[in-house]
């Protein structure tokens, strides 16, 4: 019998539903071609539901989502809802409650895509950021005292446990072993770089650095280890992106450097990520926002959502189908699209989905 996967689909807000529809189209085409089934169930979590019911992602929904093999998310963020409510209530809640402790964000420049970095091409911009996804400034540890007075104090702490750091590093080393540049026939070494700030954050990144070298020395002697301060990481992303292979970092720095990464790979139209629980239910998303101003116009680029779908299939173990989708996306960027920017692609959102699905069918 054909393998079947239960997928929860959360199209979300703004242009989320439009890009998700194209990802679903392409995923179904891949399933048909490679002989597996995707049993999809849609959920309406997002700004509209919150406005209607006051509910973000209730605990009962978390329990329900646990029963799926994977989750595909469009975008969260609504212009009428105060910033923070949906982000914390839906996106971060899912990441934390489902313990999706890895945020995997490939930074790959596909052929035909314009990068703002002069003189660099697809061979130069080809790395992956492994962002820790449960700790750091994101834990909400802290608070106010004397709020509203001139003496007000606000504290928000970067929190990491050795356990969190070790499990993230383990994933990053294993990922590097399997998908590093040497493993892919693209370099002399498989290299894992830690991006931190050991010169200032002398507790948190001291822990990361010790754990990094201990694990590397003992368990992964063949993987080359490098260290960069986070500010320097930004500098080298722009100047020498070809230096990077796999980068591991904490949650906050990972958030920041992957926006920079997204820009050098051609923008939010193409950047995808996975919130991964290697032992549980993972969630895949285009990393850009809901872009509400483009809602309903059919101009938003669905490739990031389609690439998120490809990452989902890879994590489910459908490697061939995942690679085929990525190859179809590369064909479309190289041969069809005028630009990746919303409204400038030369095609509508659904036409781009059709192009990828059509290429896939070949």
Q: Which residues bind ligand IPM (CB under 6 A)?
A: 87, 91-92, 255, 287
CA distance 141 to 154: 11
Contact (Cβ atoms closer than 8 angstroms) between residue 299 and residue 269: no
Measure Cα distances from 271 to 104, 146, 258, 274, 345 in Å: 11, 42, 9, 11, 16
Measure Cα distances from 33 to 55, 211, 235 in Å: 39, 44, 43
- For the chain, the straight-line distance linking the first and the last C-alpha, in angstroms and rounded, comes to 24
Smallest separation (angstroms) from ligand IPM to the CB of 11: 16
Size of the residue set binding Mn ion (CB under 5 A):
1
Smallest separation (angstroms) from Mn ion to the CB of 105: 9
Q: Which does 92 bind (CB under 5 to 8 A by kind): Mn ion, ligand IPM, none?
A: ligand IPM
* Phi, psi at 190, each rounded to 5°: -95, 125
Smallest separation (angstroms) from ligand IPM to the CB of 287: 6
Pick from 112, 111, 106: nearest CA to 127: 106
Select 255 or 318, whichever has its Cβ closest to ligand IPM: 255
DSSP state, 57?
A: S
Q: Which does 7 bind (CB under 5 to 8 A by kind): ligand IPM, Mn ion, none?
A: none
Select 252 or 337, whichever has its Cβ closest to ligand IPM: 252
Select 22 or 132, whichever has its Cβ closest to ligand IPM: 132
Q: Which two tokens stand for residue 5?
A: 């996967």
Q: Which does 308 bind (CB under 5 to 8 A by kind): ligand IPM, Mn ion, none?
A: none
Select 32 or 289, whichever has its Cβ closest to Mn ion: 289
Q: Which does 355 bind (CB under 5 to 8 A by kind): ligand IPM, Mn ion, none?
A: none
Select 91 or 328, whichever has its Cβ closest to ligand IPM: 91
Smallest separation (angstroms) from ligand IPM to the CB of 273: 7
Smallest separation (angstroms) from ligand IPM to the CB of 92: 6
Contact (Cβ atoms closer than 8 angstroms) between residue 181 and residue 191: yes
**Angle, vertex CA 79, rays to CA 75 and CA 82, nearest 5:** 100
Which residues between 227 and 266 bind Mn ion (CB under 5 A)?
255
Q: Which does 87 bind (CB under 5 to 8 A by kind): Mn ion, ligand IPM, none?
A: ligand IPM
Smallest separation (angstroms) from Mn ion to the CB of 209: 24
Q: Which two tokens stand for residue 103?
A: 């945020």
Give the DSSP H/E element, type plus range, for residue 317.
Answer: none
Select 129 or 313, whichever has its Cβ closest to ligand IPM: 129
Select 81 or 91, whichever has its Cβ closest to ligand IPM: 91
Q: Which does 91 bind (CB under 5 to 8 A by kind): Mn ion, ligand IPM, none?
A: ligand IPM
Residue nearest Mn ion, Cβ-based: 255
Residue nearest ligand IPM, Cβ-based: 87
Select 29 or 91, whichever has its Cβ closest to ligand IPM: 91
Smallest separation (angstroms) from ligand IPM to the CB of 288: 9
Smallest separation (angstroms) from Mn ion to the CB of 168: 17
CA distance 112 to 86: 35
Query: Any alpha helices (H) in the chain, and if so which ranges?
Result: 16-34, 47-53, 59-65, 85-86, 93-97, 162-179, 204-219, 230-239, 251-264, 303-316, 319-335, 349-361
Smallest separation (angstroms) from ligand IPM to the CB of 238: 19
Q: Which does 211 bind (CB under 5 to 8 A by kind): Mn ion, ligand IPM, none?
A: none
Task: List % helix, strand, coil for the chain (3-state, nearest 5).
Answer: 45, 20, 35
Q: Which does 126 bind (CB under 5 to 8 A by kind): Mn ion, ligand IPM, none?
A: none
Task: Calculate the dihedral angle through the C-alpha atoms of 112, 19, 316, 110, rounding to the nearest 10 degrees.
Answer: 10
Select 287 or 342, whichever has its Cβ closest to ligand IPM: 287
267: left (phi over 0), alpha (psi -120 to 50) or beta: left
Residues near Mn ion (CB under 5 A):
255
């Amino acid at each position: 019998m054909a393998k079947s996967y239960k997928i929860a689909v959360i199209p979300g807000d703004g242009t989320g539903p439009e890009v998700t529809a194209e990802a679903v189209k392409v995923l179904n085409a891949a399933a048909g071609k490679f002989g597996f089934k995707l049993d999809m169930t849609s959920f309406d979590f997002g700004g509209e539901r919150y406005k209607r019911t006051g509910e973000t992602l209730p605990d009962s929904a978390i329990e329900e989502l646990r029963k799926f093999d994977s989750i595909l998310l469009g975008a969260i963020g609504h212009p009428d809802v105060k910033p923070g409510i949906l982000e914390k209530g839906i996106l971060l809640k899912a990441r934390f409650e489902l313990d999706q402790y890895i945020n995997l964000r490939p930074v790959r420049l596909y052929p035909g895509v314009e990068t703002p970095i002069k003189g660099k091409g697809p061979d130069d911009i080809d790395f992956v950021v492994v962002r820790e996804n449960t700790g750091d400034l994101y834990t909400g540890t802290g608070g106010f005292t004397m709020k509203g007075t001139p003496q007000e104090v606000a504290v928000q702490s970067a929190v990491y446990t050795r356990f969190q750091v070790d499990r993230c590093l383990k994933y990053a080393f294993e990922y590097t072993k399997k998908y590093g540049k040497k493993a892919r026939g693209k370099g002399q070494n498989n290299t894992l770089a830690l991006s931190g700030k050991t010169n200032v954050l002398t507790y948190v990144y001291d822990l990361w650095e010790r754990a990094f070298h201990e694990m590397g020395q003992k368990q992964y002697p063949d993987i080359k280890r490098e260290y960069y301060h986070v500010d320097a990481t930004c500098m080298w992303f722009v100047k020498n992106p070809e230096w990077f292979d796999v980068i591991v970092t904490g949650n906050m720095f990972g958030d920041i450097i992957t926006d920079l990464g997204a820009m050098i790979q051609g923008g939010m139209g193409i950047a995808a990520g996975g919130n991964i629980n290697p032992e549980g239910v993972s969630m895949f998303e285009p990393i850009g926002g809901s872009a509400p101003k483009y809602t309903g116009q059919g101009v938003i680029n669905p490739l990031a959502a389609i690439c998120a779908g490809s990452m989902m299939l890879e994590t489910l173990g459908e490697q061939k189908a995942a690679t085929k989708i990525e190859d179809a996306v590369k064909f479309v960027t190289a041969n069809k699209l005028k630009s990746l920017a919303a409204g400038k692609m030369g095609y509508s959102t659904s036409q781009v989905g059709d192009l990828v699905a059509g290429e896939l069918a070949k």
